[in-house]
Structure 1
Amino acid sequence: MTQPRRYLFLSTPVGSLGSGAGGGVELNLANLTRTLLEGGSQVQVLAPQGSRIAGLPQSVIEPVAGLPPAYAQSQGRDQPVQIHTPSLLACLWQRAAQMQADFDLIVNWSYDWLSFYLTDFFRTPVAHIVSMGSLTDAVDQALEHVAQTHPGRLAVHSRAQAQTFAFAPAWMAAGRDPFVYLPCGVDLQTYDFVPHGNGSLAWVGRIAPEKGLEDCAALSEKTGIPVVILGHLQDPAYWQQIQAHYPRAQLDYRGFLPTRAMQQILGQCSALVMTPKWIEAFGMVAVEALACGVPVITYRRGGPAEIVSDGETGWVVDPDDVPALADAVGRLERIDRNHCRQRVEQHYSLSVMAERFLAWDKQICGDPG
């Protein structure tokens, strides 16, 4: 008889699960945890205190205390690694070391130098789901070491994300890809298909400079179209600056909402606008919008440009080009919202995500005993 796999997930330490501080990582971790449990696997999640995964018993999560690390996006490329004490990240890994004998695979969801560095020191295999592109030299060096010493242990979400790491192109040119590619999936039953939009636009994500909300504000001023904003308010000063610089923009901030409430608002909109200033690793909100039938207008930058089929499920425009965004808004009537939903059904369902994850697990650990 095949034994069920036993997985230990180490959550992102930037905030508790359910807070929105971890962005799309939170939803991806929650979705994969639910899907694996429903398939008969055992999953335990180590996460910051206060974490919750909707629909699952609290016993699935073991809370860990400590101070969160700084956001990686705020660090300079050559900044030394800083670990605050008592470190939440260190405490997560200390607990994982104590528990490792009870699991077949440890899966790290954090984007932190310490997490990658510790790979060598665990008896149970450690795999990493890398949630962002290249941001610091220290993390890049740690990732390359893992790729060299533990091939097949690094997973990313998009080709654009992989290309940001300086060591990746040389590996690929030699026929060795240092990464495994894992799609993110959503529970389609959670997202209601809406056949027609109400004329408003949506912008969803952490409110922080790298997300480029100011371009959406400029779009609202240019077109006179209202924009519903949903997401974790990470940088209040940045939000206030946008409001001051774009006083004629019709921006309706609704806060960070649970998935069910969020999709009820998002689904009514005529399009989701994505304006990243950095290389998004994936773009989970694009999949969520498409699941509701909502077309996506995004910059040709990072993962979202790989999710959106230009001219079929939305429009992909040149980065930082607000007039191009406005032109795309004017062409939304050409998009069939049914095609948006179908793209998620075919490429970004929970079953597709679980299938790819289990194949990765088999590559690392072999067939279950």
Structure 2
Amino acid sequence: MRIAMLAPIAWRTPPRGYGPWELVTSLLTEALVARGVDVTLFATMDSLTTAVLDGVVPAPYSEDPSIDAKVWEFRHLSHLFAQADRFDLIHNQADFPAHAFAPLTETPIVTTIHGFSSERILPMYAPFQDRVHFVAISAADRHPALRYAATIHHGIPLRDFAFDAKGGEDLLFFGRIHPDKGAAEAIAAARASGRRLDLYGLVQDAGYHDREVVPACDGVSVAFHGVVGGEKRVRALGQARALLHLINFDEPFGLSVIEAMACGTPVIANRRGSMSEIIDDGVTGFLVDTPAEAIRAIARAGDIDRIAVRRAVAERFTVDRMADDYLALYRRILGSA
């Protein structure tokens, strides 16, 4: 089985810090190679992989201002699709632009939809659903106008997330600094509960950051740490009483949610999007609908069995399970081709 894995080019694959699509692409690619699958990864040329690395984009456009995103994205796509007949299947992790090439090749295409962001993108999905096999990353993120080949939750390498049996007394926010992700709501809930809050993440909305986060950061009750990776990331995820995920949008999945859970940290999340698929209310965290419920959940977070939280990830959200699900999908598509 020869797979062409198409990565986005916003960040390196895997990302140095932020870059959830590139991270999932890397995790899946490495797991497939470990299973003996012949994978060629089309990504930025500074990417790291055990697969065959191919591409033309010298660096990620989010890191190198000389890389024009639109120009290099289509150069990236053209480079892959010019050799599409070399592969049994193309797995597109880079959103809808690849669909423009779908009518020009007979090679089956799988597109993982990393969040259906807006009705405005539907014209680049609906007309191509007879040629492209769509994968949703949660049942909540399925669009009613589309046919899906599968719903496959993301998975992470459990061994990379050390279990912390005790946790700590402080609260954690881990995500983009953007109104959707609820940093302001996390700050308010932490203040109301009388607990310290540590925020980590990429500043995506500078105005929101300046209005809602900066004035609250005194370094004592609220502290912002920016993007963090490696061992520091794992320690931050594991040493918290709870992760606050008080989102203001329908979350398609939420990698930080399962990463925190892998460390044993329960998650307190607004009941939106995929959260009810990931969090078992009262067992691995709490699903809430109001700020008052969030505050009560913070008080109860110490009652959660952290072993049970990690076990849920081991049973449902590992990279091995994700890779097995995708392999089964590939074989089903190729068997019916």
Same fold (TM over 0.5): yes
CA contact (8 A) 1:14 1:21 kept: no
CA contact (8 A) 1:106 1:124 kept: yes
Correspondence for 1:105: 89
Q: Residues 300 and 101 of structure 1: is their aligned pair in 2 closer, same or farther, counting only changes over 3 Å?
A: same
Correspondence for 2:211: 241
CA contact (8 A) 1:207 1:239 kept: yes
Matches of 2:26 and 2:69 in 1, distance apart?
28
SS of equivalent residue, structure 1 residue 64: coil
CA contact (8 A) 2:12 2:60 kept: no
RMSD (CA atoms): 2.5
Correspondence for 2:139: 159
Matches of 1:225 and 1:331 in 2, distance apart?
13
Cα drift, residue 358 of structure 1: 0.5
Correspondence for 1:188: 158
Cα drift, residue 19 of structure 1: 4.3
Correspondence for 1:141: 123
Cα drift, residue 219 of structure 1: 1.4
Cα drift, residue 337 of structure 1: 0.5
Cα drift, residue 166 of structure 1: 4.5
% identical aligned pairs: 25
CA contact (8 A) 2:181 2:248 kept: yes
Length-normalised TM-score, structure 2 = 0.89
Correspondence for 1:336: 305
The code of the aligned residue for 1:330 comes to A
Correspondence for 2:30: 34
Correspondence for 1:127: 110
CA-to-aligned-CA distance 1:201-239 (integer Å, 9 cap, x gap): 111112222212111111122223112222222233321
CA contact (8 A) 2:136 2:148 kept: no
Correspondence for 1:45: 41
Correspondence for 1:77: none
CA contact (8 A) 2:264 2:310 kept: yes
SS of equivalent residue, structure 2 residue 83: helix
Matches of 1:244 and 1:257 in 2, distance apart?
18
The code of the aligned residue for 2:131 comes to H
CA contact (8 A) 2:243 2:267 kept: yes
SS of equivalent residue, structure 1 residue 269: coil
The code of the aligned residue for 1:340 comes to V
Of 86, 97, 101, the match for 1:118: 101
Matches of 2:269 and 2:258 in 1, distance apart?
12
SS of equivalent residue, structure 1 residue 36: helix
Pairing 1:168-187 to 2, within 5 Å after superposition: 168=146, 177-187=147-157
CA contact (8 A) 1:218 1:246 kept: no
Pairing 1:161-310 to 2, within 5 Å after superposition: 161-162=141-142, 165-168=143-146, 177-244=147-214, 246=216, 250-310=221-281
Of 58, 76, 79, the match for 1:92: 76
SS of equivalent residue, structure 1 residue 365: helix
Matches of 2:296 and 2:329 in 1, distance apart?
41
Cα drift, residue 253 of structure 1: 2.2
Cα drift, residue 68 of structure 1: 5.2
Length-normalised TM-score, structure 1 = 0.82
| Aligned positions, number | 330
CA contact (8 A) 1:207 1:232 kept: yes
Correspondence for 2:21: 25
CA contact (8 A) 1:157 1:183 kept: yes
Matches of 1:244 and 1:291 in 2, distance apart?
30
CA-to-aligned-CA distance 1:256-287 (integer Å, 9 cap, x gap): 22244311221111111112222111111111
Q: Residues 85 and 251 of structure 1: is their aligned pair in 2 closer, same or farther, counting only changes over 3 Å?
A: closer
Matches of 2:5 and 2:109 in 1, distance apart?
10
Q: Residues 348 and 246 of structure 1: is their aligned pair in 2 closer, same or farther, counting only changes over 3 Å?
A: same
Matches of 1:317 and 1:267 in 2, distance apart?
22
Q: Residues 228 and 335 of structure 1: is their aligned pair in 2 closer, same or farther, counting only changes over 3 Å?
A: same
Correspondence for 2:65: none
Q: Residues 190 and 247 of structure 1: is their aligned pair in 2 closer, same or farther, counting only changes over 3 Å?
A: closer
Superposed structure 1 runs of 4+ greater than 4 Å apart: 65-69
Cα drift, residue 65 of structure 1: 4.9
CA-to-aligned-CA distance 1:279-314 (integer Å, 9 cap, x gap): 111111111111111101111101223100000000
Matches of 2:69 and 2:321 in 1, distance apart?
40
The code of the aligned residue for 1:99 comes to Q
CA contact (8 A) 2:12 2:43 kept: yes
CA contact (8 A) 1:133 1:279 kept: no
Matches of 1:327 and 1:61 in 2, distance apart?
51
SS of equivalent residue, structure 1 residue 280: coil
CA-to-aligned-CA distance 1:145-179 (integer Å, 9 cap, x gap): 222x136x0001111111xx2515xxxxxxxx534
Structure 1 runs not aligned, ≥5 long: 70-83, 169-176
